[in-house]
Amino acid sequence: MGKQVDARGLSCPQPVILAKKAIDEGNFPVEVTVDTVTSRENVRRMAENGGCRVRVEEAADEFKLIITR
């Protein structure tokens, strides 16, 4: 069923650390919700550098990153 990470309201590097931990657990897809462009880009970059695919959905003032292998 995957893993959901709510990183809204957290400043970097916390969203990246939480996303990395979820990715390392290997329970895909990993859905990470963030509320800043900086967090979105940092999580996206970390996941792609780790060999994952990332799809970003934007809704209101939030971003949901769906991370798959």
* pLDDT at residue number 54: 98
Rg (CA), the chain: 10
Give me the pLDDT at residue 16, please: 98
Q: Classify domain 3-68 at the CATH superfamily level.
A: TusA-like domain (3.30.110.40)
Full strand arrangement of the beta sheet holding 30-34: 3-6, 30-34, 62-68, 53-59
pLDDT score recorded for residue 1: 74
pLDDT score at 32: 98
Condensed to tens digits (0 to 9), the pLDDT of residues 30-49 reads 999 999 999 999 999 999 99
Q: What is the mean pLDDT of each run of 10 residues along the chain (69 residues)?
A: 94 96 96 97 98 96 97
Q: Is 1 exposed, middle or buried (0-12, 13-18, 19+ CB in 10 A)?
A: exposed
Question: pLDDT value at position 68?
Answer: 98
Q: Using alpha carbons only, what angle is made at residue 20 by residues 41 and 69, rounded to the nearest 5 degrees?
A: 85
